[in-house]
Structure 1
Amino acid sequence: MKWFKRLTIAFFSLALLGIIAITAAYYYVLPDLPDVNTLKTVKLQIPLRIYTSDGKLISQFGEKRRIPLELQDIPKPLLQAFIATEDNRFYEHQGIDPIGLVRAALVMITTGKKKQGASTITMQVARNFFLTRDKTLIRKIKEIFISIHIEQLLTKDEILTLYVNRIYLGQRAYGVGAAAQVYYGKDVADLTLPEMAMIAGLPKAPSTMNPITSRSRALSRRNVVLMRMHDVGYINDTEYTDALKQPLTATYHGAEIDLYAPYMAEMARDYLVSKLGEEEAYTGGYDIYTTIDSTLQLDAQQALRDNVYAYDQRHGYRGRTKVLWTDLTPSIDEITEKLKKTTSFQGLQPAAVMAVTEQTATVLTAKGESLTLPWDGLKWARRFITHKKQGPSPKAATDVLVIGEQVWIRNNSTIWQLSQVPLVSSAIVSIEPHDGAIKALVGGFSFFRSQYNRVTQAKRQLGSNIKPFIYTAALEKGYTLATLINNAPINQPDTRQGIAWRPKNSPDVYGGPTRLRLGLAQSINVMSVRTMRYSGLNASIKELTKFGFDPADLPRNESLALGSASVTPLQVVTAFSTFANGGYLVEPFYIQRIETATGDVIEQANPTLACTPTPVENDPVNSDNLSSNNQLVQNNTMTNNEVLTTPNSGTSTAPQDQHNKNAAGINQCGGIDARFAPQIISHQTAFLISDALKSVIWGGGNWSKGTGWNGTAWRASRDVKRHDISGKTGTTNESRDTWFSGFNPTLATTVWVGFDDHAQELGRTSWDNNGPKSQIFQAESGAKTAGPAWNEFMKNALAGTPEIPASPPAGIISVRIDLASGKLSHKTDYTSRFEYFVAGTEPTEYATETNDEGNIFIDNSADDLFQ
């Protein structure tokens, strides 16, 4: 009895001491214990995702990849795999597992090592949300008390849901949803049993036991998980045996990018960061839907890439990137290891020249593939001397390549060919002219090499892309498309220049009085200067400012008429869209909407619409709404869509009649909350300029009678083959900047090509004996350097869509004029044509009959200074 009493006293004393110790420990750590109630409103860190308007993922930003899932969306075997491995008594204990703690303590006492963990799933949740991973006694005590609180606050399923969504599983993957994507490229519901077991084995050492870091350790750990599942009865003997036989198939899968559009992704990322800050933007789980159309974006990227490669190739081959060996050929493994040090991009791959015959070459890629480059992939590579001079066309592959060289190769969709990294830069942007939505945007040849977005950041001289706006000012002051402007040398210099600046045509040919339409179509320099003199410099600058150009970028001298202003491609395409939409200056935008992780829309685009709404009579609500919109103009015109869908019958529907077809409220321009773009030029002027810009592409006259002439963009008529397109070329002095801007009623597009270093000229090329008959050569220009990219893009972008016939708006009439004088004509032959006029501005006199000799409209066009 004495020993029993002593034993009892000792037991109760120890129990009391334990209670006191636990109580003391609790109150000691109490001030540092977090409020576990926050778990009820916990916000998991979810990366920012950016999409196209049609739901294609463009990019993902954020350090942690996470795909939050509800417990019912996770396969039961995957949950069982975690429970069997991490906490088999999870549904039985109250946050801590005494049996597990005792077992772990005994193992440590008997072996001196911590071989068995004692953390429950609840304790891991406590650590992951509130504590560090420091292995200290105080942290363990905090972990225990927090776990008890968590069990009191949440259900077991809620705890398990937090665990499987929060746990780090290696390779920046947090939670099982992200892990399934990272390691298998699958949704979690599509995982097999061995794949689930592999993921469930990762929490023990996610950085060192994942299959990317160590496949052998990952395989061993997977098999341990399968054994635990079998031991506790979650899988039967057959399932266990079959799963063990399966190989480890995990490989790294990056974010599932559907469309690579890095310049747009960066614009969207930057917007949200500036709006919410980096922390919230990168972890809040926001989805940004841009205005980009995935098909048009692919078309734009391909057109820009093809055009840059074409320019680069016609200027010659700059040679190898390095010499890998000269005498003894290294082993295949040694060569591939050297090649792997060079990153592939934009379809370009590093390769080593292994053999050269008369008209072929064999190269080895970094993957160890042996490829043959045929003569068609080599013959372009005449030697680059300068941007203005090339060597002779090669006659054999040995003229181009030497064994042991490292070169660039690419697949041009038909063959593998020798290539090189282009030095020239380019940009393309395309918008919907009726609301300003950016449908495609490529800010450069390679985001990998340069993140500089030339669409929005590069201000370059505009060249003859400015001329439509110069002529717009003149039309609004009284000129017509038939007005004769003297195409003659200018001998009176502009004193504002400070020097005797005398603009010239290129070629230096002058045809005397010439109609405005032809002067714009052939980009005749002296006519543009004289037109601006008619309007006045101040009036011209004011007109350009209306189109959205910054007055600070517009030089106050006559060089402005030839495009000395420096502007961005986005400003240019926005200005040109005004001609396509009936005279309205829309605001370009690229964010369609922004959603939270739960799908709530926190921002929705409210674009400016290119139309003037008309309220229904006796509707005070709509009338008040319209009067409060300071962007409205008091001009009753049809929307451009209404005009374009009107049959081309030679007559126009009156704007007010069309508006009265609306049953109630605001017309089809938009709803009560719609914003409307200001109408900066009349619908009639917009139509006249658009029609004149068609002549840039289609020319005019009668070729069989010797009076036919080309516009500067005649290649677009051959390549795009549509009559509803309008455009304008642009080339600056010494071909440092080249442009092509144009549109049809549904899409406006601008292309720029030049060097980032403005001091470099685009140069010229000589005829290549190895090139095709349709090759581009001589001086680079807007028509030849930027035009092909515009042609390719618009051809593909508009493919399958019907041509939209132009229908003159109200107030436009058509009369037959004499081509030589611009006056009315009684003739119906090749010496006359129908021309459009604003009613009241048409000529009233008839031309005097003359012979047709010496016709000034014969084409002498060539690539000129400001073409």
Structure 2
Amino acid sequence: PATADAGSDPNAPPVTAPLPREAWLATLAELPAVAGLAPAAVTTVEADRVRILLADGSEDEVLWENGLRQARPYLSENAVGGAPGSPADVLAVGDVIRVDRRNDAWRLSQVPAAQAALVSLDPDDGAILSLVGGIGFELSKFNRATQAERQPGSNFKPFLYAAALDAGFTAASIINDAPIVLEDASLEGIWRPENDGGKFYGPTRLRWALTKSRNLVSIRLLRQLGVSRLIDYAGQLGFDTSDFAPDLSLALGTHAMAPLELAAAYAVLANGGYRVEPYLIARVDDSAGETVWAADPVRVCRDCEGRELSMEEILAGEDANGHRSAGRVMDERVNFILDDMLQDVITRGTGRRALTLKRKDLAGKTGTTNGPMDAWFSGYNRDVVTTTWVGFDAYTPLGRREFGGTAALPIWIDFMREALADSPDRERPVPAGIASVRINPETGRLAGAGDSDAIFEYFREEYVPEPAEGGGEDVPGKTGTDDLIRDIF
């Protein structure tokens, strides 16, 4: 039960004896509703319900099935106590609780200690469609969407893979998923990163590694790519790289950033490879309805695709509609291939829960940091890009069952269900210079005529692999060694 004291913990046990009705009402008047959760005082405890007094003076009830039966005492982030046998095991007269009304009935609730944030953008111009900085502005004015810098974990991996694709790796490049030990002074000694679950799967195609979020593949990929190359590429996409630590831990999303910064980077993935800047205010009108100021963001011109711009448009930096043109920061074909890989995260990987939306144009990536401490999901279609985060302000663990796909993704799903209601489900066109060929899924090379396990994969035309029998050359994606890393078998 919550406390009658309007202090910092809205769920602490009561600190006063049961009060008269007038005193209860005075106490309730001092407690604001938080995220729609209304304060109420318990006036009577019965065998199958409790009677409550609300701040407006009305009286009602909370039935046993409406949150009382489900209540459990908190033991730790991973455990709760036994089930109650009656309402008296949960509440007592005089307790001040939080209730919410659903289906014409009051339910026992509580203000969560965990926090969450959401940022949603129009990927064509960066307009902020929705911004949620936390649960209950009444409790905290801190805007976690713009001010909280948290490690994104695997939510950052798509940008590593984009840099690798740009450098000549392919979705079929093979990287070894095996234990590694890093000896690096910048990482303060020995570092033994692991995959979630502690398993290793040997030589793995990059597409499958991203789909299943394999940490060891990402680290080896960054080692082959080069840390400085990733940092340069991330800066090109719009990340503030001034404080990026130049070490291999970047592969696992260790650099802290705000959800807004991450959402802006995912907008590049959603809009085809163009950099846009988030903005909140579209225009300012005076009391007469006249516009005194209007935002002039750079925009992605969908009408310009496949059309040559005139010399006047190029010199003016404007598109066919007279808007300032967003600059391309990611190769169109790299963007297409990466988007296709991130669609696999939804259909076959850690984002499968999003299949409940019954759409074929969704792509995204989960993210979870050690603890788990932070849970993320960033995803998009062509019209809307959204990032969600869940965690504790105090940097304490969420619990061993809370991951990006279980804590942050459900919020994303609920929001996108409404946000995409009027967005048509459409397939991206294949850009010029992309080849779809059959490959051997074990080697990543062209499949032979009799290869029954062959699958199709997209490549930039100049990076179509050779047949397996012609191999042996040193190409991007081949497992290498280095004095700082030793494989453990």
1:476 shift after superposition: 0.8
User: Structure 1 residues 614, 583: CA separation in 2 closer, same or farther (over 3 Å shift)?
Assistant: closer
User: Structure 1 residues 323, 467: CA separation in 2 closer, same or farther (over 3 Å shift)?
Assistant: same
| 1:463 and 2:158 matched | no
CA distance in 2 between counterparts of 1:435 and 1:828 reads 48
Return the structure number with greater helix share.
1
1:748 shift after superposition: 0.4
| 1:804 and 2:444 matched | no
The answer on whether the counterparts of 2:443 and 2:468 sit within 8 Å (CA) in structure 1 is: no
1:325 to 17, 20, 38: 17
User: Structure 1 residues 828, 404: CA separation in 2 closer, same or farther (over 3 Å shift)?
Assistant: farther
CA distance in 1 between counterparts of 2:95 and 2:420 reads 43
User: Structure 1 residues 805, 414: CA separation in 2 closer, same or farther (over 3 Å shift)?
Assistant: farther
The answer on whether the counterparts of 1:323 and 1:406 sit within 8 Å (CA) in structure 2 is: no
Residue matched to 2:351: 713
The answer on whether the counterparts of 2:175 and 2:217 sit within 8 Å (CA) in structure 1 is: yes
Identity of aligned residues (%): 39
1:626 to 303, 311, 314: 314
Provide structure 1 residue ranges, at least 5 long, that are not aligned to the other structure.
Answer: 1-316, 630-665, 700-710, 765-778, 849-867
Residue matched to 2:480: none
Q: Which amino acid aligns with 2:361?
A: D
- Cα deviation code 1:806-833 (max 9, x no counterpart): 2211111211222222222257998332
CA distance in 1 between counterparts of 2:10 and 2:196 reads 31
CA distance in 2 between counterparts of 1:604 and 1:473 reads 35
Equivalent runs, 1:543-558 vs 2, <5 Å: 543-558=233-248
The answer on whether the counterparts of 2:11 and 2:111 sit within 8 Å (CA) in structure 1 is: no
1:358 shift after superposition: 3.6
Residue matched to 1:398: 88
1:321 shift after superposition: 4.6
The answer on whether the counterparts of 1:609 and 1:670 sit within 8 Å (CA) in structure 2 is: no
CA distance in 1 between counterparts of 2:112 and 2:36 reads 12
1:532 shift after superposition: 0.6
User: Structure 1 residues 320, 405: CA separation in 2 closer, same or farther (over 3 Å shift)?
Assistant: farther
Provide structure 2 residue ranges, at least 5 long, that are not aligned to the other structure.
Answer: 1-8, 471-489
- Cα deviation code 1:438-490 (max 9, x no counterpart): 11111111222222222222211111111000111110111111111101111
The answer on whether the counterparts of 2:237 and 2:329 sit within 8 Å (CA) in structure 1 is: yes
Residue matched to 1:432: 122
CA distance in 1 between counterparts of 2:469 and 2:97 reads 66
Structure possessing the higher relative contact order (Cα contacts under 8 Å, 6 or more residues apart)? 2
The answer on whether the counterparts of 2:118 and 2:259 sit within 8 Å (CA) in structure 1 is: yes
CA distance in 2 between counterparts of 1:485 and 1:496 reads 24
- Cα deviation code 1:101-135 (max 9, x no counterpart): xxxxxxxxxxxxxxxxxxxxxxxxxxxxxxxxxxx
Q: Which amino acid aligns with 1:757?
A: A
1:397 shift after superposition: 2.1
The answer on whether the counterparts of 1:585 and 1:677 sit within 8 Å (CA) in structure 2 is: yes
Residue matched to 1:732: 369
The answer on whether the counterparts of 1:816 and 1:833 sit within 8 Å (CA) in structure 2 is: yes
Residue matched to 2:394: 757
Equivalent runs, 1:373-412 vs 2, <5 Å: 373-374=62-63, 375-412=65-102
- Cα deviation code 1:329-364 (max 9, x no counterpart): 73x444323322322232112211122234422212
1:816 to 419, 438, 442: 438
1:745 shift after superposition: 0.7
CA distance in 2 between counterparts of 1:615 and 1:486 reads 39
| 1:679 and 2:328 matched | yes
The answer on whether the counterparts of 1:753 and 1:786 sit within 8 Å (CA) in structure 2 is: yes
The answer on whether the counterparts of 2:181 and 2:191 sit within 8 Å (CA) in structure 1 is: no
Partner of 1:734, secondary structure, is: coil
1:448 to 102, 118, 138: 138
- Cα deviation code 1:675-725 (max 9, x no counterpart): 1122111111111111101111111xxxxxxxxxxx1111111x2221100
* Alignment coverage as a number of residue pairs: 460
The answer on whether the counterparts of 1:549 and 1:567 sit within 8 Å (CA) in structure 2 is: no
CA distance in 2 between counterparts of 1:518 and 1:729 reads 14
- Cα deviation code 1:462-519 (max 9, x no counterpart): 1111100011111011111111110111134334323011211121111100111110
Residue matched to 2:447: 825
User: Structure 1 residues 495, 343: CA separation in 2 closer, same or farther (over 3 Å shift)?
Assistant: closer
Residue matched to 2:343: 694
The answer on whether the counterparts of 2:44 and 2:52 sit within 8 Å (CA) in structure 1 is: yes
Equivalent runs, 1:247-266 vs 2, <5 Å: none
1:593 to 283, 293, 297: 283
Q: Larger Cα Rg: Structure 1 or Structure 2? A: 1
User: Structure 1 residues 451, 511: CA separation in 2 closer, same or farther (over 3 Å shift)?
Assistant: same
CA distance in 2 between counterparts of 1:828 and 1:354 reads 77
The answer on whether the counterparts of 1:505 and 1:525 sit within 8 Å (CA) in structure 2 is: yes
Q: Which amino acid aligns with 1:694?
A: Q
| 1:785 and 2:407 matched | yes
CA distance in 2 between counterparts of 1:784 and 1:809 reads 34
The answer on whether the counterparts of 1:615 and 1:626 sit within 8 Å (CA) in structure 2 is: no
Partner of 2:190, secondary structure, is: coil
Return the structure number with greater strand share.
2
- Cα deviation code 1:770-828 (max 9, x no counterpart): xxxxxxxxx21111111110011112221254311122111112112222222222579
User: Structure 1 residues 828, 358: CA separation in 2 closer, same or farther (over 3 Å shift)?
Assistant: farther
Residue matched to 2:462: 840
Partner of 1:836, secondary structure, is: strand
CA distance in 2 between counterparts of 1:437 and 1:828 reads 51
User: Structure 1 residues 517, 414: CA separation in 2 closer, same or farther (over 3 Å shift)?
Assistant: farther
Residue matched to 1:223: none
CA distance in 1 between counterparts of 2:415 and 2:12 reads 32
- Cα deviation code 1:148-167 (max 9, x no counterpart): xxxxxxxxxxxxxxxxxxxx
CA distance in 1 between counterparts of 2:15 and 2:207 reads 56
Q: Which amino acid aligns with 2:435?
A: I
CA distance in 1 between counterparts of 2:225 and 2:102 reads 49
Equivalent runs, 1:601-640 vs 2, <5 Å: 601-611=291-301, 622-627=310-315, 629=317
Partner of 1:831, secondary structure, is: coil
1:535 shift after superposition: 0.9
1:370 shift after superposition: 2.2
Partner of 2:311, secondary structure, is: helix
The answer on whether the counterparts of 1:464 and 1:730 sit within 8 Å (CA) in structure 2 is: yes
Q: Which amino acid aligns with 2:338?
A: I
The answer on whether the counterparts of 1:820 and 1:831 sit within 8 Å (CA) in structure 2 is: no
The answer on whether the counterparts of 1:818 and 1:833 sit within 8 Å (CA) in structure 2 is: yes
Partner of 1:338, secondary structure, is: helix
CA distance in 1 between counterparts of 2:212 and 2:105 reads 38
Partner of 2:457, secondary structure, is: strand
- Cα deviation code 1:524-548 (max 9, x no counterpart): 1001101111110100111111121
CA distance in 2 between counterparts of 1:318 and 1:603 reads 42
1:568 shift after superposition: 1.1
| 1:571 and 2:261 matched | yes
Residue matched to 1:482: 172
